[in-house]
Amino acid sequence: MVEHAADYEWRGEGENAEVLIYAPDDATAERALERALPAARLPGVTSPVYVAASDSGLGWVAVSETHAAPDLFSAPVWGLLLV
């Protein structure tokens, strides 16, 4: 479950790290949290895990200060890169 923190910002708890989500709405934030939970379970991950998510299928990305795995990134659409 995500908690609305500010405009376009939600927070959720992973197993080993907090998850900070930037998304346009609650439903997108919930989906992003579910997809980011594997990143929050990585051993030694530094909190928070940052997530940017799109509701229109443009993609999503999850990274932390210590981890960024290729399988955690979505393929950008229309040449857009989420940073």
Which pLDDT tens digit goes with each residue over 11-63? 998 778 888 888 899 998 998 888 888 878 888 888 888 888 888 766 666 66
pLDDT value of position 11: 93
Q: Is residue 51 part of a domain?
A: yes
- The residue segments making up the domain with residue 16 are 3-65
Q: Is residue 25 part of a domain?
A: yes
Strand partners, 61: 52
Q: Is residue 75 part of a domain?
A: no
pLDDT value of position 61: 67
Q: How many domains does the chain have?
A: 1
Q: Is residue 10 part of a domain?
A: yes
pLDDT at 78 > cutoff 60 = no
pTM given for the model: 0.70
3-state secondary structure of 73: coil
43 with 57: CB under 8 angstroms? no
55 with 23: CB under 8 angstroms? yes
Q: Is residue 71 part of a domain?
A: no
Q: Give the total residue count for the chain.
A: 83
Q: Is residue 15 part of a domain?
A: yes
pLDDT at 67 > cutoff 70 = no
